[in-house]
């Protein structure tokens, strides 16, 4: 069925009352949009221009990555680039955020050139026909200063993609519809009283029923965040605010998996208490079900909330109302920032931690999971310092039954890579998306890995 990648991470480091502000890089800078931590207390000032909007969890990690963790020999399941694949040259940094397929010969991948338009980005999209990727032009609304696509979901050859576009430095919700040959703009309505809105994910069960999810900052309190969903009926969007969660007025959805018009599982993050001595909250995972009209809160198998850490769910994939698999992270947001991935499973009544056996002496993340059956899933991410976008190696983890097998990409000498999107249609057809480029730089191009159940094939994108 569907997985949805988190991309539009709103508050990775909002623990201790800090705000994560996404700043536009200057034209002369080689850095993409990055995250700065204000260090403000509970009386934090307003976030800077693009606060609450991030094009990629990897890009969000760049400014806060400490390089903590000694190098480790990651695994014996090494992958190599096939003969004839040309390593990435320099700028820009193209990141393929998400990929989704109607069939093995009909896939859409979306993302952005993260360094374009002064750091506001430029949307990228690619169509797979079974043998090669073709770039497909994506138009933005008139008088825009950039934008990006976070997520895409396809059914019966029709696809819906969501993200953000900018006018000046002000972000607005973006939606694009693919009819099999071209894109058209279908903008969601503005939400009254909102600032810094973002649609992080979308999941479709038919061309006339999709649900997108994300968040916005209320103009009345720039330290809060409101989780939202949007329902696409094939012609228009209806935006719905999720009920407030916790005592801090902060919640955000990063992932959604819909299997029917009346069942979606959502994941993200919320602020759970005010016990932190610096006045902030403990940020922990959020799981909710949505039946098309109302929400019901769930209790997952998250790590114990603690000061100076944030736990959040990056991606969920369900093959019915159950089972579901989620991948998540715990991020240390004070001092030397670091993050470590973990996973959990839902059997219809309760969530339980999964044993993935990721490396413990280097930073790891899992940004996407997709389940082809109730017992076969693939999760993708990366391992390494990620002080820059290419300072690590991609992870491709396969769950077959109750056990996980880890595969780590071994790029050409001087290169680094990561994966952030993925889709499995069957046990013999999975595709993952991300980026690859010169090591310890923030330049590179999009890449895709195809998995047939026994071997990998790497295909660069245009």
Q: Are 261 and 236 in contact (CB under 8 A)?
A: no
Task: Encode burial over 309-341: b for 16+ CB neighbours within 10 A, e otherwise.
Answer: bbbbbbbbbbbeebbbbbbbbbbbbeeebbbbb
201 or 361: which leads in pLDDT: 201
Instruction: State how far the Cα of 349 lies from the Cα of 353, in Å rounded to an integer.
Output: 14
In this structure, of 336-340, 391-395, 419-423, the range with the lowest mean pLDDT score is 336-340
Given a cut of 90, is residue 124 above it in pLDDT? yes
Given a cut of 80, is residue 330 above it in pLDDT? yes
Tens-place pLDDT, residues 195-218: 999 999 999 999 999 999 999 999
pLDDT at 111: 95
Burial class, 130, CB count within 10 angstroms (exposed 0-12 / middle 13-18 / buried 19+): exposed
SS3 196: strand
Given a cut of 80, is residue 96 above it in pLDDT? yes
pLDDT at 161: 98
pLDDT at 92: 74
Q: What's the average model confidence in pLDDT over 169-194?
A: 96
- The confidence band for 19, taking pLDDT boundaries of 50, 70 and 90, is very low
Concatenate the DSSP letters of all residues of 340-353 into one string: EEEEEEE-SS-EEE
pLDDT at 372: 97
Q: What's the average model confidence in pLDDT over 355-371?
A: 93
- The confidence band for 34, taking pLDDT boundaries of 50, 70 and 90, is very low
Return mean pLDDT, the chain.
80
Q: Where are the domains of the chain?
A: 2-460
Closest CA to 368 of 200, 249, 237, 211: 200
- The confidence band for 62, taking pLDDT boundaries of 50, 70 and 90, is very low
- The confidence band for 83, taking pLDDT boundaries of 50, 70 and 90, is low
Instruction: State how far the Cα of 64 lies from the Cα of 47, in Å rounded to an integer.
Output: 17
CATH code for residues 2-460: 2.120.10.70
Task: Encode burial over 247-275: b for 16+ CB neighbours within 10 A, e otherwise.
Answer: ebbbbbbbbbbbbeeebbbbbbbbbbeee
Tens-place pLDDT, residues 342-353: 999 999 999 999
Instruction: State how far the Cα of 380 lies from the Cα of 395, in Å rounded to an integer.
Output: 5
pLDDT at 86: 53
The residues with which 204 forms a beta bridge, in sequence order, are 210
Instruction: State how far the Cα of 49 lies from the Cα of 34, in Å rounded to an integer.
Output: 12
């Amino acid at each position: 069925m569907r997985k949805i990648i988190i991309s539009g991470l709103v508050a990775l480091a909002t623990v201790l009352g800090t705000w994560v502000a996404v700043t536009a890089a200057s034209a002369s800078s080689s850095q993409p949009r990055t995250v700065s931590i204000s260090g403000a207390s509970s009386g934090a000032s307003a976030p800077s221009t693009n606060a609450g909007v991030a094009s990629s969890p990897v890009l969000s990690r760049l400014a806060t990555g400490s390089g903590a963790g000694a190098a480790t020999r990651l695994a014996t399941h090494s992958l190599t680039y096939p003969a004839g694949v040309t390593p990435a040259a320099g700028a820009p940094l193209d990141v393929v955020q998400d990929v989704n397929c109607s069939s093995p010969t009909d896939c859409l991948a979306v993302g952005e050139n993260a360094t374009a338009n002064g750091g506001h980005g430029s949307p990228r999209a690619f169509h797979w026909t079974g043998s090669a990727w073709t770039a497909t032009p994506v138009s933005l609304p008139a008088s825009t200063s950039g934008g990006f696509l976070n997520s895409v979901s396809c059914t019966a050859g029709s696809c819906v993609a969501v993200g953000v576009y900018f006018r000046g430095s002000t972000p607005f919700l973006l939606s694009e519809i693919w009819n099999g040959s071209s894109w058209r703009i279908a903008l969601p309505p503005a939400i009254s009283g909102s600032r810094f809105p973002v649609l992080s994910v979308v999941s479709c069960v038919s061309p006339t029923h999709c649900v997108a999810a994300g968040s916005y900052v209320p103009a009345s309190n720039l330290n809060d965040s409101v989780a939202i969903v949007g329902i696409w009926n094939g012609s228009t969007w209806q935006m719905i605010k999720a009920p407030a969660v916790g005592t801090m007025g902060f919640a955000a959805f990063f992932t959604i998996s819909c299997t029917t018009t009346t069942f979606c599982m959502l994941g993200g993050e919320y602020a759970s208490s005010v016990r932190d001595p610096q006045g902030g909250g403990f940020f922990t995972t959020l799981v909710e079900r949505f039946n098309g009209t109302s929400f019901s809160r769930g209790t997952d198998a998250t790590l114990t909330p603690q000061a100076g850490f944030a736990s959040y769910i990056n991606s969920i994939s369900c093959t019915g109302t159950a089972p579901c698999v989620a991948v998540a992270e715990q991020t240390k947001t004070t001092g030397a920032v670091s993050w470590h991935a973990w996973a959990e499973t839902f059997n219809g009544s309760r969530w339980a931690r999964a044993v993935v056996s990721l490396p413990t002496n280097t930073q790891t993340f899992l940004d996407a999971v997709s389940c082809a059956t109730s017992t076969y899933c693939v999760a993708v991410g990366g391992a390494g310092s990620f002080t820059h976008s290419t300072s690590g190696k991609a992870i491709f983890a396969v769950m077959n039954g109750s056990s996980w097998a880890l595969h780590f990409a071994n790029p050409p000498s001087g290169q680094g890579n990561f994966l952030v999107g993925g889709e499995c249609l069957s046990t013999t057809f999975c595709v993952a998306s991300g980026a690859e480029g010169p090591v310890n730089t923030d330049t590179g191009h999009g890449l895709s890995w195809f998995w047939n159940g026994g071997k990998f094939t790497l295909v660069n994108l245009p």
